Copies of this chain bind each other. A is one copy, B any other.
Amino acid sequence: MIKYADLSNQVYEQLKAMILSNQYEPGQKLLQEKIAAQLGVSRTPLHKAFQMLENEYLVESIPRRGIYVKKVDYNQIYDAFECREALESVAARRLAENHTSEQIDLLKGFFTPFMNANIDINVDKYRKADELFHKQIMIMSGNSILGRLEVISNILVRTYQKGLVRPVSETLHEHFEIIDAIATGNGDLAAEMIAKHSRAARANIQQMLSK
């Protein structure tokens, strides 16, 4: 699939990056005219971009009022993790049952940098690796739907913003356990390992909710 230099898409990418990097405040209104001027385009391609963002739960459109950056509430994060747990299990199972050694290497590659450096891990880089790892499993699963459910991956990014992360000391070796399970071809095991991984994160969120 060839990406086209379509203005709507460029605007979408730009706004998405800005929202996910917190350059827009959650709850903030996105003024069409202003953004159009900033990006040097008219309001027309913005409409499509906003619609894309709304479908990914990144903004909310209130008709005749405007577009607002979605606030991330813990309940929704919890819900997303619940979905992610189920869907990643499907993905991991499929991938375990049908993969190449190159794919395994790719997955391992995300985390090997953090294995060697036995001191001070760059947390931002680790988060990025984590994001790519989970996204990549979905894509490589071969299930055409899984690779395109942006809702799930976006929520993960926003979770990072909230600081809802487990210590690297716990997750790093879990990631390798998941990869190993996939590599052995044991679908059930791979599904269970990744579900366990997600459940632990979900437990953290539940703690936040009960406070």
* A82 on the B face (CB < 8 A): yes
Does the CB pair B48–A144 fall under 8 Å?
no
Q: B-facing mask of A74-104, CB < 8 A → 1, else 0?
A: 0110011011011101100010000000000
Complex interface: chain B residues within 8 A of A89 (CB): 86
Cα–Cα, bound, A86→B55 (Å): 21
Complex interface: chain B residues within 8 A of A48 (CB): 47-48, 51
Cα–Cα, bound, A4→B90 (Å): 37
* A204 on the B face (CB < 8 A): no
Cα–Cα, bound, A104→B6 (Å): 48
Complex interface: chain B residues within 8 A of A151 (CB): 145, 149
Q: B-facing mask of A135-159, CB < 8 A → 1, else 0?
A: 0000000011110010100000000
Does the CB pair A143–B79 fall under 8 Å?
yes
CB within 8 A of A79: which of B64, B82, B144? B144
Chain A: interface secondary structure? helix
Cα–Cα, bound, A83→B75 (Å): 22
Chain A residues within CB distance 8 Å of chain B = 4, 6, 44, 47-48, 51-52, 55, 57, 63-64, 75-76, 79-80, 82-83, 85-87, 89-90, 94, 143-146, 149, 151
Cα–Cα, bound, A51→B11 (Å): 14
Complex interface: chain B residues within 8 A of A76 (CB): 144-145
CB within 8 A of A87: which of B57, B83, B144? B83
Which A-B residue pairs are the 4 nearest by beta carbons?
A4-B63, A86-B86, A51-B51, A55-B55
Cα–Cα, bound, A145→B76 (Å): 7
Identify which of A6, A48, A75 gathers the most chain B CB atoms within 10 Å of its CB. A48
Would you mind naming 15 contact pairs between A and B with Cβ atoms under 8 Å apart? A6-B63, A44-B47, A47-B47, A52-B55, A57-B145, A75-B144, A76-B144, A79-B143, A82-B94, A82-B145, A83-B146, A85-B90, A86-B89, A86-B90, A149-B149
